[in-house]
Amino acid sequence: MLAIGRSQHTSAGKTTISVRSVQYANRPSKVTGKKNSAALRRMYLLAGLSFVLLAFLGAILPVLPTTPFLILANSCFMRSSPKWQKWLMRLPVWGQILKDWETHRAVKPGTKRLAILMLAIALIVTVLSSRLSPIALILFLAVVLVGVTVIWRLPVMRGNHKSVCI
């Protein structure tokens, strides 16, 4: 669809019409969000599936956070496949976390407390039950610290569902 400007009359009696720009109704602009190509959508889908796998591993492994990977997977699926995004949002536990994030851009306080508690328990159990070398212990503590920092920085939903970063 062409966007036509105003017509102008010149002193010679001729009428000119200026064309401002060419815009297609069904194509979003580059500023508001360009449609992704098929190759880019496949890359987002692959990344989203990878993040779901990491989130699943994070639910099992003690030092890997789950929620940030779910948020990343949801973001990738929004850009690649509505079918996969709906599947992710329908998951019993994780779906509610993602709905909270999508609606309020925050997590529930209990979710945040549970995640940090699980990291603390994993840290204590691992340190007490294994014989880690000093270097391995430092690396493990660094990974736990990164996980706690990521979780701590997530905004929290309050009573009126406004997000507050603590």
- Per-residue confidence (pLDDT) for residue 14, from 0 to 100: 55
**Higher pLDDT, residue 162 or 94:** 94
Q: Is the pLDDT of residue 8 over 80?
A: no
DSSP summary character for residue 27: S
pLDDT digits (tens, 9 = 90+) for 126-146: 888 888 888 988 988 888 888
**pLDDT bracket for residue 7 (50, 70, 90):** very low
**Is the entire prediction scored with pTM above 0.85?**
no
**CB neighbours (10 Å) of residue 41?**
15
- Kindly state the average pLDDT of the residues 77-99: 89
- Which domain covers residue 80, as residue numbers? 2-164
Place of tokens 């603590």: 166
Domains identified in the chain, total number: 1
What three-state secondary structure class fits 165? coil
Mean residue pLDDT of the chain comes to 77
**CB neighbours (10 Å) of residue 40?**
13
| pLDDT above 90 coverage of the chain, percent | 20
Q: Is the pLDDT of residue 55 over 50?
A: yes
Rg (CA), the chain: 25
Place of tokens 């890359």: 43
The CA dihedral of 16, 21, 24, 27, to the nearest 10 degrees, is: -170
- Kindly state the average pLDDT of the residues 85-109: 88
Q: Is the pLDDT of residue 12 over 80?
A: no
